[in-house]
C-alpha cells in the first residue's frame, strides 16, 4: 500500500483525504523490503497476539460496569491539569475515543484527521515519505509539529481534551508522542489531556497496535474495551 491515489489531479479535497485515510489505516503496522515500507498484511507469518491483562482492581466494581467506573475516573481527573492514557482494542478505537470525550464532557480531537489536513497541500512529498525509509522522518516531524499545534490550539487552563484516532502514529514512527504530551501536560498549564491509543495492555505494558511498547504510568493508564455512555445518562 502507498499514499497513491489514482487520478488525484482531478480529485476533490474530500476524495483525496478519504483515499489517504484508507491507505494510512492499513499501514499502521509495516515491514521493510529494501528501502520500501510494506504493509504488514503482506506477511506470510503473522506474529502471535500479546496476552491481555485482566482488568485492574480499580475498574472491578460489583455494582458498575468497567466503562462506567472508567468514565467516573476520567471525569474526576479532567477537573484538573493532567494526562491519562486510554488503551482500546484497535478495531473499536475510533468510536471509543469519541465516546470518552462525550462521556466526560471534553473536546474530541482526531489526530489522523488533523494530520491529513496538513499533509494534503504537499501530498507528493508525503506520498514519497510513506514509501521510502530514508524519507520517513518527514512523517515523524509532521506528527510532532502537529502535536505542538494542537496543544496551542486546544490546551489551556481548565480545558479538557481527548486526543483520538492515533493509529496513524505507527506509520509516522511517532509512538513517542504520548510521552511528549505527558511531559507538557504535567509541566505546563495546558489543562487535562487523555490520549486514546489502539492496542492492548500485556504484563502491565501497553502495546501500541498490540506490538510496540508505549510510555505509560500504571496510575494513569486505563484499559477500555467498550464505548462509554454519558455519565448524565446513568
pTM of the predicted model as reported, rounded to 2 decimal places: 0.78
CB atoms under 10 Å from CB of 17, counted, come to 18
Comparison of pLDDT for 95 and 119, the residue scoring more: 95
Which spans in 52-92 are helix H? 66-77
Contacts of residue 10, defined as CB under 8 A and 6 or more positions apart, other chains included, come to: none
Residue 91 in this model has a pLDDT that exceeds 80:
yes
Q: At what angle do helices 137-154 and 111-119 cross, to 10 degrees?
A: 120
pLDDT of residue 119: 78
Q: What is the pLDDT of residue 39?
A: 43
Confidence check: pLDDT of 143 > 90: yes
Domain segments of the chain as ranges = 8-233
Among candidates 202, 218, 8, 22, which has minimal Cα distance to 112?
22
Residue 119 CA to its chain's centroid (Å): 17
Closest CA to 85 of 171, 155, 182: 182
Amino acid at each position: 500500500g502507498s499514499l497513491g491515489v489514482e487520478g488525484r489531479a482531478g480529485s476533490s479535497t474530500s476524495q483525496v483525504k478519504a483515499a489517504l485515510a484508507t491507505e494510512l489505516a492499513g499501514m499502521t503496522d509495516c515491514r521493510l523490503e529494501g528501502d520500501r515500507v510494506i504493509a504488514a498484511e503482506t506477511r506470510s507469518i503473522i506474529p502471535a497476539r500479546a496476552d491481555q491483562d485482566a482488568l485492574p482492581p480499580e475498574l472491578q466494581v460489583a455494582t458498575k460496569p468497567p466503562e462506567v467506573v472508567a468514565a467516573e475516573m476520567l471525569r474526576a481527573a479532567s477537573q484538573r491539569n493532567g494526562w491519562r492514557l486510554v488503551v482500546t482494542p484497535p478495531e473499536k478505537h475510533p468510536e471509543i475515543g469519541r465516546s470518552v470525550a462525550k462521556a466526560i464532557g471534553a473536546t474530541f480531537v482526531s489526530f489522523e484527521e488533523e494530520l491529513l489536513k496538513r499533509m494534503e497541500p504537499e501530498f507528493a512529498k508525503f506520498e514519497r515519505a510513506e514509501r521510502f525509509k530514508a524519507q520517513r522522518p518527514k512523517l515523524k516531524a509532521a506528527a510532532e509539529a502537529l502535536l505542538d499545534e494542537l496543544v496551542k490550539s486546544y490546551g489551556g487552563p481548565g480545558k479538557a481534551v481527548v486526543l483520538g484516532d492515533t493509529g496513524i502514529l505507527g506509520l509516522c514512527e511517532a509512538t513517542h508522542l504520548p510521552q511528549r504530551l505527558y511531559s507538557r501536560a504535567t509541566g505546563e498549564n495546558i489543562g487535562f489531556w487523555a490520549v486514546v491509543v489502539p492496542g492492548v495492555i500485556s504484563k502491565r505494558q501497553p502495546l501500541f497496535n498490540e506490538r510496540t511498547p508505549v510510555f505509560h504510568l500504571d496510575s494513569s493508564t486505563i484499559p477500555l474495551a467498550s464505548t462509554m455512555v454519558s455519565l448524565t445518562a446513568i
